[in-house]
Amino acid sequence: MGWQRQAHGSSVQAAIEDAAKKVTGEDVVVYAAGRTDAGVHAEAMVAHLNITKEMTPFRLMEALNAVMRPQPISILDCTVVSDDWHARFSCTGRRYIYRIVNRRAPLALDQGRAWRVVPSLDHEAMHNAAQIFVGTHDFTTFRSVHCQSASPIKSIDRLVVRRFGEELEVEVAARSFLHHQVRSMVGCLVLVGEGKWSADDLKAALDAKNRTALGFNAPPDGLYFVEATYPN
């Protein structure tokens, strides 16, 4: 069900917390740099937990991974941080990549790990239009109705669209994001790539500051959380 613990299904947070309980005997809460939706992937999520049990970081990593097998969750590294460090609130930047496979043939190895788009996409038009999003804007149009952020105003630091053969990669970096913001932006950029929208249509949707102006919300399959950055 994504990162956050849910009463109606399994989640990454619950899996790690339950494993930590078995390893340490302590009730812990795991805090992450971001909260990914169901179907979204993370290659480099950063999270923290507080424990009193004396363990080396390596032993904790090994123990958590052993308990969580065979779930598709891996602790790649552990380290000790200061008491005032927080995975979410100390984070100064987050980066996502969205994968699109642009072909007619169905996905095989990438099933559930990318978005297949059949019509030919103009990635250069998508990249050029994407620069409309760079900077500080009111992203109400690209915000889920369930978003809990106090403000719709966010600053996009970088948004790049690249093609590698039949695959397109949309990379976006910012300090923080609204709920569904990346998927909503990607969905509309695909409309540009298909020739259904122009860059002016994209700007009009942004300026509308209204969710009803959204063209399309991309599925979660292709979205990857790939980096969280911290001072020093």
pLDDT higher than 80, residue 47: yes
- The predicted pLDDT at position 22 comes to 97
> At how many degrees (to 10) do helices 181-193 and 199-208 cross?
150
Q: How far apart are CA 222 and CA 224, in angstroms?
A: 7
pLDDT higher than 80, residue 232: no
188: nearest Cα among 208, 168, 213: 213
pLDDT level of residue 7 (50, 70, 90 thresholds): confident
Catalytic hit among 37, 110, 138, 201 = 37
- The predicted pLDDT at position 27 comes to 96
Q: How far apart are CA 194 and CA 202, in angstroms?
A: 13
Q: How far apart are CA 72 and CA 4, in angstroms?
A: 15
The CATH-assigned architecture of domain 1-91 is: 2-Layer Sandwich (3.30)
φ, ψ for residue 173 (rounded to 5)?
-130, 140
27 is catalytic: no
- The predicted pLDDT at position 149 comes to 86
- The predicted pLDDT at position 145 comes to 85
Ramachandran area for residue 32 (φ above 0: left; ψ -120 to 50: alpha; else beta): beta
Taking only the tens place, the pLDDT of each residue in 122-180 is 999 999 999 999 999 999 999 998 888 889 999 999 999 999 999 999 999 999 999 99
Q: Does the CA dihedral 208-175-223-168 come out positive or negative?
A: positive
Is residue 148 within 8 Å of residue 35, measured between CB atoms?
no
Note whether 1-91 and 93-229 share their fold: yes
- The predicted pLDDT at position 165 comes to 97
Taking only the tens place, the pLDDT of each residue in 18-32 is 999 999 999 999 999
Alpha carbon distances (Å) from 221 to 18, 40, 143, 148: 26, 6, 18, 22
Omega within 30 of 0 (cis) for the link into 70: yes
Q: What is the domain partition of the chain in residue ranges? A: 1-91, 93-229
- The predicted pLDDT at position 35 comes to 87
Q: How far apart are CA 71 and CA 53, in angstroms?
A: 25
The CATH fold assigned to 93-229 is Alpha-Beta Plaits (3.30.70)
- The predicted pLDDT at position 114 comes to 98
